[in-house]
Amino acid sequence: MTPYQQIWTIARLELGRVFFSKRSFWVYILAIFPSIIFLGHALEANLKKRNWGGDRVTAAELLDKVQSGMTDEQVLALAGKPVSDTTRKRRVRRNDEDPEAEKQPEVRRYVMYFDGKRRVDLRFEDGKLVSRNARELMNFEDDRRVYATMFQFFYLRLGIFFGCLGIFINLFRGEMLDRSLHFWFLAPVKREVLLLGKYLAGLIAAAFIFGTGALLSFLSMVLPHDPNEVATYWQTIGPEHAFWYVAAAALGCVGYGSVFLAAGLLLRNPILPAIVMLIWESINGFLPDVMQKLSVLHYLQSLCPVPVPLPNDMPAVLKMLLAPAAPSSVPVAVLGLLAVTALVLFAAMQSVKRLEINYGTE
Amino acid sequence: MSAPEIVFDNVSKFYGEVLGVNRVDLHIPPGITSLVGPNGSGKTTLMNLMTGLIHPNSGVIQVRGLSPYAPEKLMRILGYATQYDAGPRGATGFEFVHTGLVLFGFPKAECERRAWQAIERLGLTAAAKRKVAGYSKGMRQRIRLAQAIAHDPEVLILDEPLNGLDPLVRAETIALFRDYGANGRHVILSSHVLQEVDVFSDQVILISNGMIVAEGQIKSVREEIHEHPSQFLLHCRDASRVASLLFAEPHISEIKLAPEGAGLLVLTRNREAFAAALERIALSGIDIDGVIPTDENVDALYEYLIGGGK
Amino acid sequence: MAVYRRGYQRYDGALTSHFARLMVMPRFSWERILSRRFVVILLVVSLFWPLLCAGFIYLSNHSELWQGFGGGIKKFLAINGNFFSIFMNVQSTFALILASVAGPDLVAPDLANNALPLYFSRPLTRWDYILSRMIVLLGILSLVTIVPGLLLFGMQASIAGGDWFANNWFLGTGIFIGFTLYIAMVSLVAMASSAYVKWRVVAGALVLAFFFLLAGAAEMVNSIFRVDWASALNPTYAINAVWKGLLDVEIPEDKPGAWECATVILGLSGGLLALLARKLRAVEVVK
């Protein structure tokens, strides 16, 4: 049996455990959660269209005439009966020493119209229109931006991070805690081969779960939109976007997987490096360019096809401090990530050769 | 062809500041060898060192010419039934044995044949499809044995293999050891009960506090019983006076107070002289309520050696 | 006569109270947890922020020190619900890290080593066991939450005088109730995580994942549905909203309020308790 065959045999034996372990159940939830939410969003938009349709629809031209400073009575007279209308009075607070509080409006009124495609939210303060916000119930471009944000901030930063933490730490540290690692060490295989076999099993499982999850959520974001828009998208940049989202998810598993596998081997409590890494990856955007390139997230973000806009409600100071490094080119990102992975796996191999079975200390 | 001995050359192992084994020099020939010692004496450490599950801080180990640092070679000739109670999570008895064999590279049909053969040999055929986690203690012991012998190893290492086995299975298991040991293979097993293993062991290694205190054929070790001091428990009221009188005797090597004021524990190198001395003391008017020999069996040697040669 | 009637005599002397028996486990656990260097370091580090806040209170109550500054400084230095809300917010992060380190140590080893039969063969119920484990965390986490919080409140009350106390006593009760709720929630998460995975290390990760992932998931629901109500599903936001309610700090109108968030926390705690009750069994049957 060659080492390659042994690696594959070990991976095959481990795959079942990684895929079907009860403890991995939450990883599946993580992976498919965005798809469920996007499908829910499409369903909700359709339901709203149906509920707000018919005689509750207000002509778009009328709603476009609504201007800031108009009174609520004027707006209602112009646009007719809204879909929803709520009024709130200012609460008297127990201990309001703030002089600014005196300037707060007494009454706020929230009115919402629907023009068949867009919902228009109007906010009145003491009878005057102070804010008008119109948005389509289903806007493809918006949704693609939301998907890009979700992918980078939830999927890569949290979902794949914690999913890989769960899967890859189990491979060695979990077996130590289960007191079953000796079973593998008593097999006629080199420790390095065992490590690669286990890593391969974790990688196949994680990449499959999160790659499929990324693809499913992407499809559930794209498909409910207008068929013409979707067709155009698929004929142009759609397949490329889909490919790079799946590739980034899979490469995320390659990078994070190696780090957590090594952490599970090198340290008795891999939670501390996990916390450090989570903080490191989170503050990444605030670091100098060179430092940013020392994170898995930087390379993964470089692969993402749609850049993420900074949130509107982000404090100005933070916006000022945030200076994302220029994204690396695709070959550099992929090779950089693979190089980091190879380095981490090499360190893990050195460690596994020295690893001793000493369950009593776990 | 590999050298037929298991060699420990000045091997020491420490767990931090705790001693595992210290400066062990051993040459274990083929046959059944029992490692005997109390709990925590270093038996499992020796076995784990042989199998590469732990590594020595100093010294060299060779198992039939193979290093424990090369599991890809060593594990082909070695089977180890550990004391660890766990196998792969959720595995059935058959899967537990079969999975191990797959890693040897046997074809699928051969893996299955060997797995069933080993399971049948240990009498677990009916339970083979049940999860190991649901097995009783004895069944787990047997499935571990099955896994260790499934690839027909030259060296079989068994950590407390008779624990939890009922008398019938125990007899069958001992027969299995004999069968293995008779074919020029190594069978190394551990126990903390010397009597349990002395009937079928070719060699015995007595270990205490991480040191080898005796090794050799069981027959020669048995002979030491007659050469080592005998211990007696004396029940008497005036223990200090009896002690002072006994100390004057040249054959007495140690006297100490028995726990809970039960009398005196006396160690003598000459039973006859000791009996004569007791008679003299009794005739002098000192009450001696009873004399009980405390080391009349094979365990006496064990106690003598393991207890530090008292 | 049956042998036991002659030979066996049941103990009929005085017994310690149920509570005293319950406190046996926490006593040992506290000793063990506090012997860990990392826990002690974390405890020390987590006291820096209260110290800073104490300095802030001192500064706020000595107007002569900042007389030359503009009017904005008065608003900035005001000691009110907002101040304590920020204090609680920061301090709860330390409590969370502490819970993820110390919490799984309480239940996971018992499950991994089959120690539950040992506990349940004593006059202890499953709920006693859960309660005693929660008391352990309450003791440890209150060192970085309730204790410094109330000390700060007491410091402000003693410097600012009786009038301030009469007008702001609810801040003290808010700190106490708010932190107690938080500790209860974090303890349940820590115990449920360790009962679910049974591994101390992975359970620690799961505690962190629970808070981070739910925050991420809530934010995701908000941005995909273009709503704000999902913030209530973020435990950190939810507990913050409850604190703001208790400290009388205004919550933006479009965000979920204190009552909605309190309901979510209650539901979440119920779910975690149900998980604990399901997992904490003396005997695990393997089919």
Does the CB of A165 have a partner CB in chain C at under 8 Å?
yes
Predicted confidence at residue B309, as pLDDT, reads 42
Residue A202 clears pLDDT 70, i.e. is over it = yes
The confidence score (pLDDT) of residue C127 equals 86
Q: Is the pLDDT of residue A50 over 90?
A: no
Please list every residue in chain C whose beta carbon sits closer than 8 Å to the beta carbon of residue A224.
Answer: none
Using a CB-CB cut-off of 8 Å, the residues of chain A touching C78 are: 97-98
pLDDT at B27: 93
Residues in chain A whose beta carbon is closer than 8 A to a beta carbon of chain B?
1, 5-6, 9-10, 13, 17, 21, 178-180, 182-183, 185-191, 193, 353-354, 356-359
A355 is written with which tokens?
Answer: 């690893």
- The residue whose two tokens read 């089959």 is C114
Closest partner residue to C224 (CB to CB) among A98, A150, A159 is A150
Spatial distance between the Cα atoms of A109 and B171, rounded to a whole number of angstroms: 89
A182 Cα to chain B: minimum distance (Å): 7
Contact A186 B99 (CB under 8 A): no
Chain B interface, best mutation among C114, C197, C286, C287, by max B CB count within 10 A: C286
Query: Taking 70 as the threshold, does the pLDDT of residue A324 lie above it?
Result: no
Are B84 and A182 an interchain contact pair (Cβ–Cβ within 8 Å)? yes
Cα(B95)–Cα(C73) distance, rounded to whole angstroms? 72
For residue A176, what pLDDT band results from cuts at 50, 70 and 90?
Answer: confident
C259: exposed, middle or buried (Cβ count in 10 Å: 0-12, 13-18, 19+): exposed
Interface of B with A (CB under 8 A): 15, 48, 51-55, 69-76, 78, 80, 82, 84-90, 99-100, 102-105
Q: Residue A323: pLDDT above 70?
A: no
B211-253 tens-digit pLDDT: 888 888 766 765 665 566 777 888 887 888 888 888 888 888 8
B15, B72, B82 member nearest A189 (Cβ) = B72
- 3-class state of residue B211 by DSSP: strand
Q: Given pLDDT bands bounded at 50, 70 and 90, which one contains residue B291? A: confident
Please answer whether residues A202 and A167 qualify as being in contact, where contact means their C-beta atoms are separated by less than 8 angstroms.
yes
Q: In the numeric block, which tokens belong to residue A108?
A: 């706020």
Is residue C79 within 8 Å of residue C57, measured between CB atoms? yes
**SS3 assignment for A129-191:** EEEEEEEECCCHHHHHHHHHHHHHHHHHHHHHHHHHHHHHHHHHHHHHHHCCHHHHHCCCCCH
Higher-pLDDT residue of B271 and B51 is B51
For residue B308, pLDDT beyond 50: no
Q: pLDDT, tens digit, for every residue of C126-137?
A: 888 889 989 999
pLDDT tens-place string over residues C260-276: 999 999 999 999 999 88
How many angstroms separate the CA atoms of B261 and B2, rounded?
58
What confidence tens digit (pLDDT) does each residue in B173-215 have?
899 899 888 888 999 999 887 777 878 888 889 888 888 888 8
| Tokens (6 digits) for A99 | 């002089």
pLDDT at residue C209 above 80? yes
If we measure between CA atoms, which residue out of A185, A169, A168 comes closest to residue A358? A185
Task: Give the C-alpha separation, B178 to B202, whole Å.
Answer: 10
**Tokens coding A328:** 């690396």
C74 touches chain A (CB under 8 A): no
Give the burial string for A96-129 (b: 16+ CB within 10 Å, else e): eeeeeeeeebeebbbbbbbbeeebbbbbbbeeeb
Least confidently predicted of A285-294, B46-55, B103-112: A285-294
Q: How would you list the strands of the sheet with B230-236, edge to edge?
A: B252-257, B264-268, B230-236, B288-293
Which residues of chain B have a CB within 8 Å of the CB of C286?
Answer: 131, 133-134
Test C167 with A95 for CB contact under 8 angstroms. yes
Q: For the segment A283-313, what is each residue's pLDDT rounded down to a tens digit?
A: 777 777 777 777 788 888 888 888 877 666 6
Residue A203 has pLDDT above 50, yes or no: yes
Per-residue pLDDT at A314: 58
Helix axes of C162-197 and C258-279: crossing angle, nearest 10 degrees: 40
In this prediction the pTM is: 0.80
Angstroms from A192 CA to nearest CA on chain B: 11
Interface residue A97 vs chain C (CB under 8 A) = yes
Q: Is the pLDDT of residue A189 over 90?
A: yes
Length of chain A: 362
For A101, nearest residue in chain C (alpha carbons): C250
pLDDT at B1: 46
Q: Quick one: pLDDT band at residue A100, thresholds 50, 70, 90?
A: low
Neighbours of A63 (CB within 10 A): 20
Cα–Cα distance list, C74 to A20, A131, C68, C80 (Å): 60, 31, 11, 12
% of chain A beyond a pLDDT of 70:
90
For residue B103, the chain A residues in CB contact (below 8 A) are 6, 9-10, 13, 187-189
pLDDT, mean of residues A78-82: 87
Under DSSP, is residue A61 helix (H, G, I), strand (E, B) or coil? helix
Per-residue pLDDT for A55 more than 90?
Answer: no
Q: Give pairs for C36-41: CB < 8 Å, separation 24+.
A: C36/C101, C36/C102, C38/A272, C38/C101, C39/C98, C39/C101, C39/C102, C39/C140
Q: Give the neighbours of chain B: at least 3 Cβ pairs within 8 Å.
A: A, C
* Tokens, residue A94: 């127990």
pLDDT at A91: 63
Phi–psi pair at C253, nearest 5 degrees:
-60, -35
pLDDT tens digits, residue range C11-67? 888 888 888 888 888 998 899 888 888 889 999 999 999 999 999 898 888 877 767
Residues in chain A within 8 Å Cβ distance of C101: 271
Q: Is the pLDDT of residue C1 over 60?
A: no
Using the Cβ of A235 and the Cβ atoms of chain C, whether some distance falls under 8 Å is answered with: no
For residue B108, what are the CA distances in angstroms to A325, B115, C8?
Answer: 53, 11, 61
Interface test with A, best of B85, B103, B157 (most A CBs within 10 A): B103
Measured between CB atoms, which of A98, A143, A162 is closest to C213?
Answer: A162
- The least confident of A22-26, A119-123, B95-99, B296-300 is B296-300
CA of B90 vs chain C CAs: smallest distance (Å): 9
Residues of B in contact with A188 (CB under 8 A): 71-76, 103-104
Quote the CA–CA distance of C284 and C287 in Å, as a whole number.
10
Is A166 in contact with C205 (CB distance < 8 Å)? yes
pLDDT tens-place string over residues C87-124? 999 999 999 989 988 888 888 888 877 788 888 888 88
Return the number of other C-beta atoms located less than 10 Å from residue A85's C-beta: 14
pLDDT > 70 fraction of chain B, expressed in percent and rounded = 88
Mean pLDDT, rounded, of chain A: 85
Half-sphere exposure of residue B180: CA atoms within 13 angstroms, side-chain side: 30
